[in-house]
Structure formats: structure tokens, C-alpha cells
Amino acid sequence: MRIVTWNCRAGYLKKKKNELIEDLKPTIAVIQEAAPEGFDIWHGHYNKAGKAPKGIGIKCFDKDVSIRVCEKFLSDNRYFIPIILNTKQCTIKIVAVWAMGDERGEDGKTTQRGYRFRMHRMLDEMSDFIDERTIILGDFNSSVYFDYKYRSHKDKNFSAWNQRMTQFGFVSSLHEKLGVSLDESTLNTYFHNNHQAYCIDYAYMHKSMLEEQGVKSVITDERFRVVSDHIPLIIDFK
């Protein structure tokens, strides 16, 4: 089984970006910043007239695999979609992520700290959904690199979020498999410009699942940088 997550930066079908994803032969694709067309599951927001809607879409490419939303754990927290995935061999839970930074500060303006706050809120709201068979993956819009900006909210930064996950036995599959820390500068999935690149896309899972399923995680490839500011994260199960 192969799961792919990618922020496509809009135009998934219109600009035929879906063909790049299909070339990767995924079982499941989790696509951020996408319009609703072409997906089995989609949650997002509709902009003002004339602007395309954007959200997070999930597409299943295998007829022997089924996916459904666990409605009980859906909330207005944008966007964390609880998914039940069933194969002939097993059942896996997925929290599909596109963390949105639209929390409001005291001045009423949008604040970037919303990304981190929403990640922590997700853990609080989905504590009864997340277990050792759960994968939390997608565009977190967060990194340890940005921790220094939020010294007054250390309990809500990404390092604090990662620490909470570690206490649950969860790790970033990409970093764990390669044996590197979260601040490894070569493992970048988001390219702001030619001089700034960060890892803000992750797949977190329990260590027991990582070992039992023989999980491999890789980031690929440069073709995707032509059409988006993100590259995909691929998670392969044996």
C-alpha cells in the first residue's frame, strides 16, 4: 500500500497536476489546496465569487480499499479529516491534515500562530480517535524552525506538539527512518523561494506501526516543484 500527500497549490485537475500524482501509483492520495472535483472525500471552503474553492481532498485508487469519514470526530477545526481506511488485510485510521492559519489575534487580524494552535486543538479533539493504528499526515504548516518566533507560546509551538506525539509513541516516519532530527536542513518539502525551504509536511505514526508494517517514507521529486511550492511525501507499507 502506498499513501501520498501533497499540497498541489490549486489547479489539481484543471492544470493536470493529478497526472503527476497518478504516476506515483498511490493507493490513497491526500491532496491539500485543491478544489472538490476528482476526489472521493473533500472538505474545504468556498471563496468569494469568481475564486475557486480550496480544501483537502482524498482519493482512493484501489477498488479493494474503502475509505470513509468518521463523522463523530469532524469539527470546525480547519482542516483535519478523520478517515477510516479498510483493506483486505487491515484497518487503518488516517487524520488528513491541511492546517489553516486563520485563528484571530486580539486585534482581530489573522495570526500565523493559528497553524500551531490548530494542531494542538486537533490532538485534544481527536484523542479518542487516535490510536496505534492511526497515521496523521499532510501539510502541517509548522516546523521547529519557526519555534523562535513564538517564545511567548512555547506550549503551543511545533516542538511542544512533537513532544506530545512522542509521549503517545508517535514519530515522524520520514525523520525516524532516516535517523535524523526534525531540524535536518536537507529534508525539505516546502520551497518558499530559492533561498528558503522547510519541512512542513509530515506523516506521524506509532513506532509499532512503523516497525510492523515495514514503512518507508521518502520525499519526491523535482518535477513537482515546477507546478507547486511543495513536493509530495510518500509512505510505503510492505
CATH number, position 169: 3.60.10.10
Q: Write out pLDDT tens, residues 92-151.
A: 999 999 998 765 555 555 555 678 889 999 999 999 999 999 999 999 999 998 887 766
**Average pLDDT of the segment spanning 208-224:** 82
65, burial (CB in 10 Å: exposed 0-12, middle 13-18, buried 19+): middle
> Looking at the 3D structure of the chain, how many domains does it have?
1
Per-residue pLDDT at 80 exceeds 80: yes
Residue from 55, 42, 43 nearest 7 by CA? 55
**Average pLDDT of the segment spanning 56-83:** 96
User: Which residues, in sequence order, are bridge partners of residue 86?
Assistant: 66, 91
Residue 100 near residue 79 (C-beta atoms within 8 A): yes
Q: What is the mean pLDDT of the chain?
A: 89
Say how far apart CA 136 and CA 170 lie, in whole Å.
9
Q: Write out pLDDT tens, residues 200-211.
A: 999 999 999 998
Position 51 confidence tier, pLDDT thresholds 50, 70, 90 = confident
Say how far apart CA 132 and CA 162 lie, in whole Å.
16
Identify which has the larger pLDDT, 96 or 179: 96
Grid cell of 97 as nine digits: 491534515
pLDDT of residue 14: 86
Helix locations, the chain, DSSP H: 18-23, 113-125, 158-167, 173-178, 207-212
**Average pLDDT of the segment spanning 146-166:** 85
144, burial (CB in 10 Å: exposed 0-12, middle 13-18, buried 19+): middle
pLDDT of residue 107: 53
* Boundaries of domain holding 123: 2-236
Per-residue pLDDT at 152 exceeds 80: no
